[in-house]
Structure 1
């Protein structure tokens, strides 16, 4: 024999001897159903006295597969006969109690098929072995045991989620909410793999509304443990209804008109399926030797003893300050000391020693808020308004517990419910923080939101929140990617996921870890008008779907706790069994800033008095200086207007003299030279119009009421009308309909007006028939006037351009601005005038 073959045989022998041989279950008084699944073909016998055989294998399910040593054979469900992987139309392998599958109640389990005890308690268990790990399977989920149906008979689903969770879910017709969800181990002695057999179980003790009444177990066969490995717990709000549905192993047997088929086949082997009427003790399972098992009778006796002497105490399990966990909670009455500032405090309170009864809690922060308030359960969506330093000002929190209307077995099959609520932003609000939190660490379940919108009621079409559909981002459906603007947080950021539901991207929390929590959070700036209180009124809306299982821990939250000494108290009472109560307390101190200390006030008072005296003296000095400056400006303004009036008067006098001279020449020429008289009369007409225009310019220049931008813009409009009204040139104006009421001085008005008028005359003389465009803009204290025509243009390199352009540049240069001219032959001319507009006081002459 070759060494290689010998090595292979040796390894095979070692592996076979390492496998632990098990003994099949025997029926006891609490066994409702027991299927060994050893038959080569259906029916598969139910060993319980009033049992029901499983009559049919469908869609390629294969019996007769080798099971764990000592257990004979198993059934393989890693098959399908049609449909699309990952979709609800997949026809996967399945084992049913009915001979045929149908879309009505004809394939339901018989009415007398029992799946719980008289008190509602049960245990469902099986042995499983994977061909593919959950994330490698091509199915929506990996069903183990289900009672599902098409109409009003959907009761429960015990399955593995592709994301790596073991779950038990009451379905819509079960009459119960809640369930259990727990992460499957990926490390340690019970880590999931495709080599070993695993025992999986869910048990319920028949106490509805009690945290921890529902328990999940995951145990590797051969791990050497002496009791089942508990991986999570949950609760049911009520016992399951006794209605029967489509009972199946290895898949769901539900089919419906929307194309849903057998879409959850288990990718591997299932064997030794047992259903019991009690919550089995963790040692009462197949991998524990029979002599070491705790029977249901002995377990009930122990439970009664524990209940009669059950110690009920409360403890503070966790404190978060501004979202950061305090890792060392003081003991023995020592106060918790916090740094200065306003703080958000979250206290997680729970019962000690695994109390299995529901607790009602109230809490108080003495010294801050004397009111006792209910602590919150479940997950939450909160909206916090923050100031400019990101300190919280107020919070609106919306808690989710149980399951939402329309919840099914996951987001892909659930109906999202629209929800909205009003928000009021406090004064000084600058930012809004939105947080989706899984709550206390022992809370588990699933929560998803979509279509987050924040609007003002008077403008509902404008959403103030960006990326509320969570579509923005790169490859956001990858495991640890996040939509734009959102960040993961908490003890276990992997709880925060992005998924799909109703055809869109959803932000979700899937929490199967009852020792950690996770959250999503995002901060965005919201612009508020401080002068309008109605601007701070907002409306928030979103769509939600959830199935949340609360634990024993509850959370108390206090916002904006300032400097001071406080006493936190929590009291609790059980709402089942003998009435018992307990309390817990903690001293804490928020240190003050130095200006909040006792010595600060006297010292600052003396400083303030001194500063007031200095301020009064400086105020008088500034007032005197300001008055002198105003008088100086007023004198300069009057002197400037006198100069303008004088210049205009000289120009007016010249024009009158020319008018008189021309009139004399016309009289002389009437008799002897009529054609010259006509020319003189035309000149008189032209001079008269220019005289009127000059008088208007004079009145406008000296009128102080025109010292603003609107008046300047109107004057430029008049210039355009006067210059181009009888020409072939068309002028188009681009002047803002509403200019800021910004004062300007007379120098700026005069020079800008003259420069624009000079430019218009140049166009009239030299551009020929064309279009002229005037654009007037004012922004950030800068005035810009753009004059553009599409006329003949001129050569900028030519030496002789006359004095017009020089005058324009000189006028704008006196104002501290620039005049830019661009022109090309036959391509028009562009003139851009830019000058600063100082905000000078608007002074009227007395």
Structure 2
């Protein structure tokens, strides 16, 4: 059997045309057992199924028709995390085993996905609104009318937008409160440190004033009396003893003035330190044959330095200057005091005979004192 032969007459039966309806244009099989007419419908029985058509003269049978288990175009809702499954089936007058299904998620998929069955499954779609398009194609690639499934995936309770916004706002508020508490604690500590520093400064000022007014005045009085006594006495041994006492008291007076200067909080600036060193350096070189050249360029720089550091810096400089006076045999000495990037730089040099520090650094107390004070100051 070769299908169904169809004779079509036209021009008042003067002419006719013979066409063939078989598997190439839609029959399930070429083995045709019978053709039955029922009204306008023709039923063609084959060994692979029955085909139905309304016009035997039309050798192309209808395209496949898609139907689904729901209502196309209606909105369906699914919960996030649960699989989303759609089922559809194509009715065709051709071989059912040759039907091919195509699916595309509108706005998500660029290309159609092909499946042998009418089931489409999504295991984990993000929350949102979707449209699923479905097509059926027979073995001749005739496409059905598309079905559109509209559905949305609802977020879980903790994925709700309002809850996420609330969580973000809560996190911002908590972070703000934590930062605020942190800065309040920092400010509290700074305030406490400031109050302690202020109290310490007042105590230093008080001690400085008392030492100056009481101890300083007493030492000055003793110094004056020993000086007057040395002028009145004619006994040479007694004069020497009195002169030694006078020198000791003078040295004590100098040390007391240094303590008062280091305790006075009004001197806690580098400019005051530079001025004090300059003044004391002039006194050290006053009775020597060495010309002292001083260059200090920190007078307008408001950088503070603690009293103990001021004292250590001065004693270090004093030791170096005394060594120049005692041992250098120089004609000129140069003292430079600068401030560079908040670091105090002091340069001391002379044109004397010099010495080898690698040979003498373990021999003199003065050199050891200089290194010790520099280490205390973290100096380079």
TM-score range, shorter chain: 0.3 to 0.5
Report the TM-score when normalising by structure 2. Answer: 0.45
Please state which structure has a larger fraction of its residues in helix: 2
**For the pair shown, which has the larger CA radius of gyration, 1 or 2?**
2
